[in-house]
Amino acid sequence: MSEIVGATKLNHKGISYISIALALIFTLPVVGSAEDEKICFNTDRVRNFEPLSDSHLFISVRSDENYLLSIRQGCFGLRNAQVIAFKDTISQVCSNSSFADIVIRDMGRPLSCRIENIEKVENKEEAEAIAAAREQETDKD
């Protein structure tokens, strides 16, 4: 499996603003349908990951806790990533966060890619089916 590396490197000014923003986001009530439900996972507990494409990433936290991450506008090189890091998080990434990123190395340089959506899935096979269907939709457009 691939290696997970946590990354929360910020200067002291950045931490205070991000901490305040996260505190505000996490205390807001969730309103809407079940589809709008906030889905979060603890980045420190991620056991493994597997890139499904440059736009989708399967994350396993526990044997019964798995997620499909959709990456905004794709992330060139994600498909072959051996190491990822979560950037600008306080050990938690949520589906409604507007600033959660993953970081991969592309040609030796770090490349930051925005997480657009997080969905809870039963297993890797379900994540692969969802990702494949979305890739086909994108190819039609």
User: Per-residue pLDDT tens for 64-98?
Assistant: 899 999 998 889 889 988 889 988 667 889 887 77
CA–CA–CA angle 111, 115, 116 (5° rounding): 135
Give the position of tokens 């498909």.
79
Residues in CB range of 27: below 8 A, 6 or more apart: none
Dihedral of alpha carbons 71, 76, 80, 86, sign: negative
Give the position of tokens 């990434």.
93
More confident residue, 92 or 129: 129
Average pLDDT value for residue range 106-112: 82
Instruction: Tell me what pLDDT residue 138 has.
Output: 73
Does residue 9 surpass a pLDDT of 70? Answer: no
pLDDT band (50, 70, 90) for residue 103: very high
Instruction: Tell me what pLDDT residue 117 has.
Output: 92
Pair of tokens at residue 21: 């923003």
- pLDDT tens across 49-69, in order? 999 999 999 999 987 899 999
**What is 41-85 written as a DSSP string?**
EEGGG--EEEE-SSSEEEEEEETTEEEEEEETT--TTGGG-SEEE
Does residue 30 surpass a pLDDT of 90? Answer: no
